[in-house]
Amino acid sequence: MLYVTDQAKEMLKAALLANRGEDRDLGIRLLVNDQGEFGLVLDHSGPDDLVVEHSGLAVLLIDPGVAEAAGEAVIDYREEAGEAALVIEPHAA
């Protein structure tokens, strides 16, 4: 199961609030492309989505196939050299 840290949830919440405009049903969707690279886009939730909530908001939407591809990865928030980013790392047992 994919794990999202509290710091990552807070960053996702801030990004969602800054970009969704008036559409209160939007969330941020985790995608994976054919090369196995992950990305994020604004989207509406689907009936089978896994939804990560934070402070009452659906901050991350994950299709079951993407969740399977991510496995037990961890989504975290990092700041390095003045740059802030979300990172996805394999689960450290």
Query: How far apart (Å, rounded) are the C-alpha atoms in residues 57 and 4?
Result: 14
CATH (domain of 66): 2.60.300.12
For residue 24, pLDDT beyond 70: yes
DSSP 8-state class, residue 63 = -
For residue 92, pLDDT beyond 80: no
3-state helix, strand, coil in the chain (%, to 5): 25, 45, 35
Domain extent, residue 60, equals 3-89
Q: What is the pTM of this model?
A: 0.87
pLDDT at residue number 93: 54
Residue type, 57: L
Per-residue pLDDT of 27-76, as tens digits, reads 999 998 888 888 999 999 999 999 999 998 999 999 998 988 888 889 99
Burial of 72 (0-12, 13-18, 19+ CB in 10 A): exposed
| Averaged pLDDT for residues 6-28 | 93
pLDDT at residue number 79: 87
For residue 91, pLDDT beyond 60: yes
| Averaged pLDDT for residues 10-30 | 92
| Structure token digits, residue 73 | 């990865």
Tokens 């909530």 found at: 53
Counted domains in the chain: 1
